[in-house]
């Protein structure tokens, strides 16, 4: 079942709200989540960017982005598609 644009937006906002209060997340984790929310396609929620591109946009190493994705998945801030992105090396929301 595909989500509507309104459901995708609600999911992105819920993930961001949860991240704000999660003490386990670092500032960089939150910055990455914000960037991914910003870059996510409005119709699908997919972020079509590689970790290397996200790293360049944030001025960090790709390994730092990988660690942040690990934190987001472990904190359950991200939805299932971000977990899948770790396998694909191209984050999705």
Q: For 33-68, how does the pLDDT look when each residue is reduced to its tens digit (9 = 90+)?
A: 889 888 887 777 788 889 999 999 999 999 999 999
Quick one: pLDDT band at residue 88, thresholds 50, 70, 90?
Answer: very low
Residue 92: DSSP 8-state: -
| Angle formed at CA 43 by CA 7 and CA 59, multiple of 5 degrees | 100
List pLDDT tens digits, range 12-29: 777 777 778 788 889 999
């Amino acid at each position: 079942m595909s989500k509507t644009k309104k459901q995708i937006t609600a999911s992105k906002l819920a993930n961001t709200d949860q991240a704000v209060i999660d003490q386990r997340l670092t500032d960089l984790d939150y910055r990455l989540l914000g960037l991914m929310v910003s870059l996510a396609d409005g119709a699908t929620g997919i972020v079509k960017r590689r970790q290397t591109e996200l790293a360049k946009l944030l001025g960090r190493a790709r390994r730092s982005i990988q660690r942040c994705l690990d934190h987001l998945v472990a904190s359950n801030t991200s939805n299932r598609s971000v977990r899948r992105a770790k396998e694909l090396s191209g984050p999705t929301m």
